Structure 1
Amino acid sequence: MACIPGLNPSKTLAIISSSSSYSINNNLPLSSSSKSHLKITQLSKRLPKISIVMATKQQEDGLSLNALTSSDRRDEVMIAATSSLSNCLSETNLHLTIPSLKSKTRGKVRDIYDGGDYLVLVTTDRQSAFDRVLASIPFKGQVLNDTSLWWFNQTQHIAPNAIIAVPDKNVTIAKKCSVFPVEFVVRGYVTGSTDTSLWTVYKNGVRNYCGNALPEGMVKNERLPANIITPTTKAADHDLPITPDEIVQQGLMSQADYDEASRKALSLFEYGQRVALEHGVILVDTKYEFGKGPDGSVLLIDEVHTPDSSRYWLAHSYEARFNNGLEPENVDKEFLRLWFKDHCNPYEDKVLPNAPEELVTELAWRYIFLYETITKSRFQIPETAEPIHDRITRNVSHALSSLTF
C-alpha cells in the first residue's frame, strides 16, 4: 500500500495495509469479530447440501432470519428509511468544494475523484441495474461502504486490496491502480434475470458460456457442479461476456495477470460462500474487479460481496422452495429488477417508471439486514442534522490534509 509517513497517529483516520487488520474512524466502528481474520482451514470446492439446511442453527449470536420480514428492527429501519427518502445522496461534487481534487468520474453508483496518487471514492445512494440508474435508496451508500470494508478486512489473506483510508461513512480513499478492463463474475448457481445472467443464456440454449461447458438438463436456481467464472468487459453502456482466451488475445490482460486474478476470484468466492452460509445466507454469485499497483501486484478494488455486486438467498428456505419450483427468498436487489422488468423494458425505454416507495424502503432494509446478519454488527443509521454533502466535504478535506505521499 502507499506509504503515508506524515500522518499524525492521533488522528482518527484509519490506515489500512494489505497484510494486517484495520480499524475505521470513530464514525464507523467495527465489531470485535472484524478485528481478526476468520480462520478457515480449507475451502471446499463445493459446499455440502446438508450445510445449507443446518446453516441457521449456527446463528445463535446473530439476527434471526425471521427478522427479514417481521421484527422491531425492521420496523425501526423502515421508518427511518421512509423519513430519509428526500435526503438520499444522489450526487456529489467534491471537486467543486475541495481544491485538491482534480476531476470527477461519475459511475453508476460511485463518484470517483482524482487525488493524484490516490482516488477518493464516494459511494452514493444511487441504485443501478440493467446498466442504468433506477432509483435512490436511503442509507445505501453507507451500508455498501460498511459491507465492503468488512469483507476487505476479512479477505486480505486471499487478495491484497487498494484501500488506504476511510474518512467518512460513505467514502473510501484508495491507492490508484491500473484497472483491468474486465469484471470477474463468479457464479455458483444457474439463475438471474438480466440479458447476461446465466439462466437467461442457458434457457436460450447456450451450453458453452465464457469458456465454461454447461451440463444439459439444469433448471433455474439449481446449483452448478462447480463454481465458474464468466468474465465480462467493462463498458460504459453495457458489459459484454468474454472468454478468457479472448481477454488475452485482445490484450485486455496478460495470461499471467488473468491466471492470478481468476485464482483470487475463485478463492474469494469460495471463502465468501463459507462465511455467508455460516450466517444463514447463500452467496449465489458476485463480481470482482482487480487492478495492478505500481509494484506490479494484483490488487482487489471497488467493492466486495455487497448486495449490489452479489446475489444472496436465505439458506434455510432454499432447498424446500427449489424443490417446489419457487423462487428463493433473496436479500439483494433482484426483486427490484423483477419489478422493473414487469412494468417496462429497462433496456430500451428512455423513461422508466418511478420505483414504488415501499420497494425502495424494503431494499434499504434488506441491505442493512444482510450487513447486520453477516457482520453481527449494528448498522448506524446516520444523523440528519448535517447535510450529507457537507459532512463528506468536511471529513474528506480533513483526511486529505493528513495524507502525505
Structure 2
Amino acid sequence: MTVDLPLVARGKVREVYDAGDGRLLLVASDRISAYDSVLPTPIPDKGRVLTALSVWWFEQLAPVLTSFGASHHLVSADDVPASVAGRAMLVRRLDMLPVECVARGHLSGSGTKEYERTGAIVDVALPPGLVEGSRLPEPVFTPSTKAEVGEHDEAIDFARVEALVGAGRAAELRELTLALYRRGAEIAAAAGIVLADTKFEFGLGADGGLVLGDEVLTPDSSRFWPASSWAPGAPQPSFDKQYVRDWLTSSGWDRVSPPPELPDDVVAATRERYVAAYEQLTGRRFA
C-alpha cells in the first residue's frame, strides 16, 4: 500500500496520513492485534472488511448522533487513492479525547474475570449470579485509557474520566456511548447477532462539537456472537477476533515474548468470521 501523503501515525492496524484541509486518510491494513500485541501474520481482506463495515455503521448510527448534537468523522470512502481503495476512509481531523468508551451488554472476557473477583467492573456494581456470557440488566459504561502500541489499556472509573475530560463531557460520553451501543445491539439482534460489547472513540471537531471517530462496531472493536448459539456459562462462539485470542492462549504464548505466527487454518477461519460478520450484519455480499 503506497500512499503519497505525509504519514501522521501508525497504529496497531491502521496508518494515518495528512490529506490536507483538516482531513486525514485512515488506511486499514490486514494486521491483527491481540492482547495488545500486533501479530506477525496478516488476515487477508481484514482491512477491507473493517472499512466497509465502519462505513455502513456510520450511516446506521447517524440519527443517534444527530439526536445528541454530535456527528461522525467520515467524509468519504470513495475519494481515496487508488492504491488503498476499499480499505481507506477520508475523515475529518479531530482533537481526540483520551478515553476509550466501552459499553457492555453482556459479561465477557476481562469483565467476567473482574466480576468474579469483585462483583463489579471497576466502579460499576453488578448483581450476583452472573456468568460468562450473561446478559446484563442494563448496558454499562466501563471506560479505559487509550494505550500506545505495545502497551496495555487500563480500565478506569468514571471519576477518572471526569478528571480527564471534565464532568460535563464525561456524562455526555457515557450517555452517547450507551445510546450508540443500544442502537447497534438492536440492529445486530435483527440480523441474528448478539453485540456483547464494543468500544467507541470520540474527538472534538473544529467547532468543539463531539464527533465519533476511528472505526465503529467492527470485529476488531466488538464482540459479536451468533444469537442462535448464545448460551451463558461458557465462552461463546464468535464472529470476532476472540478466535485468535483463544488460539494464542492454547498455543502457550506467554504474552511477553514476540507472538507466534498463525497457522494457515487459523488465518482462514479468522477471515471467514470477519466476512461472515459483515455479510450477516449488512445483508450484503462481501466481494
Quick one: distance in 1 between partners of 2:179 and 2:95?
A: 22
Quick one: distance in 2 between partners of 1:226 and 1:345?
A: 35
How much does 1:346 deviate? 4.7
In structure 2, what residue type is equivalent to 1:302? D
Question: 1:18-50 deviations in whole A, cap 9, x for unaligned?
Answer: xxxxxxxxxxxxxxxxxxxxxxxxxxxxxxxxx
Secondary structure of 2:16 counterpart: strand
- Aligned match of 1:223: 135
- Aligned match of 2:243: 335
How much does 1:345 deviate? 3.4
How much does 1:93 deviate? 5.1
Aligned ranges 1:54-73 → 2 under 5 Å? none
Quick one: distance in 1 between partners of 2:234 and 2:113?
A: 17
Question: 1:101-140 deviations in whole A, cap 9, x for unaligned?
Answer: 3333110111111234111100000001111112310000
Aligned ranges 1:166-181 → 2 under 5 Å? 166=77, 167=80, 168-181=85-98
How much does 1:217 deviate? 2.4
Quick one: distance in 2 between partners of 1:191 and 1:208?
A: 13
Query: Which structure has the higher relative contact order (CA within 8 Å, separation 6+)?
Result: 1
Partners of 1:130 and 1:346 within 8 A in 2: no
Structure 1 residues without counterparts, runs of 5 or longer: 1-91, 381-405
- Aligned match of 2:52: 146
Structure 2 residues without counterparts, runs of 5 or longer: 66-70
In structure 2, what residue type is equivalent to 1:333? K
Quick one: distance in 1 between partners of 2:29 and 2:242?
A: 19
How much does 1:256 deviate? 1.7
Secondary structure of 2:118 counterpart: coil
Quick one: distance in 2 between partners of 1:129 and 1:285?
A: 16
How much does 1:353 deviate? 1.9
- Aligned match of 2:74: 163
Greater than 3 Å deviation, 4+ residue runs: none
Which of 255, 265, 277 is 2:177 aligned to?
Answer: 265
Secondary structure of 1:291 counterpart: strand
Quick one: distance in 2 between partners of 1:144 and 1:103?
A: 20
In structure 1, what residue type is equivalent to 2:273? R
Which of 235, 245, 248 is 2:147 aligned to?
Answer: 235
How much does 1:225 deviate? 1.4
- Aligned match of 1:76: none
In structure 1, what residue type is equivalent to 2:61? T
Is residue 108 of structure 1 aligned with residue 12 of structure 2?
A: yes
- Aligned match of 2:112: 199
Question: 1:73-101 deviations in whole A, cap 9, x for unaligned?
Answer: xxxxxxxxxxxxxxxxxxx452xxx1xx3
Quick one: distance in 2 between partners of 1:364 and 1:346?
A: 24
Quick one: distance in 2 between partners of 1:379 and 1:346?
A: 35
How much does 1:286 deviate? 0.3
Question: 1:142-178 deviations in whole A, cap 9, x for unaligned?
Answer: 0110000000011111121011111220100110110
Is residue 310 of structure 1 aligned with residue 214 of structure 2?
A: no
Aligned ranges 1:6-21 → 2 under 5 Å? none
- Aligned match of 1:124: 29
How much does 1:327 deviate? 3.2
Partners of 1:119 and 1:174 within 8 A in 2: yes
Partners of 1:210 and 1:231 within 8 A in 2: no
How much does 1:243 deviate? 1.0
Secondary structure of 1:136 counterpart: coil
The share of aligned pairs that are identical, in percent, is 37
Quick one: distance in 1 between partners of 2:23 and 2:158?
A: 30
Secondary structure of 1:306 counterpart: coil
Which of 220, 242, 245 is 2:159 aligned to?
Answer: 245
Question: 1:304-324 deviations in whole A, cap 9, x for unaligned?
Answer: 110110001111121xx43xx
- Aligned match of 1:133: 38
Quick one: distance in 1 between partners of 2:221 and 2:154?
A: 16
How much does 1:281 deviate? 0.7
Aligned ranges 1:255-404 → 2 under 5 Å? 255-318=167-230, 321-322=231-232, 325-348=233-256, 350-380=257-287
Number of matched pairs? 272
Quick one: distance in 2 between partners of 1:104 and 1:298?
A: 22
Which of 100, 106, 122 is 1:183 aligned to?
Answer: 100
Partners of 2:132 and 2:234 within 8 A in 1: no
Which is higher, the Rg of structure 1 or of structure 2?
Answer: 1
How much does 1:351 deviate? 2.3
Quick one: distance in 2 between partners of 1:235 and 1:376?
A: 34
Quick one: distance in 1 between partners of 2:161 and 2:254?
A: 28
* TM-score normalised by the chain length of structure 2: 0.91
In structure 1, what residue type is equivalent to 2:200? Y
Counting strand residues as a fraction of each chain, which structure ranks higher?
Answer: 2
Quick one: distance in 1 between partners of 2:125 and 2:115?
A: 11
Secondary structure of 2:155 counterpart: coil
Quick one: distance in 2 between partners of 1:243 and 1:153?
A: 31
Aligned ranges 1:7-46 → 2 under 5 Å? none
Quick one: distance in 2 between partners of 1:326 and 1:230?
A: 22
Quick one: distance in 2 between partners of 1:263 and 1:352?
A: 37
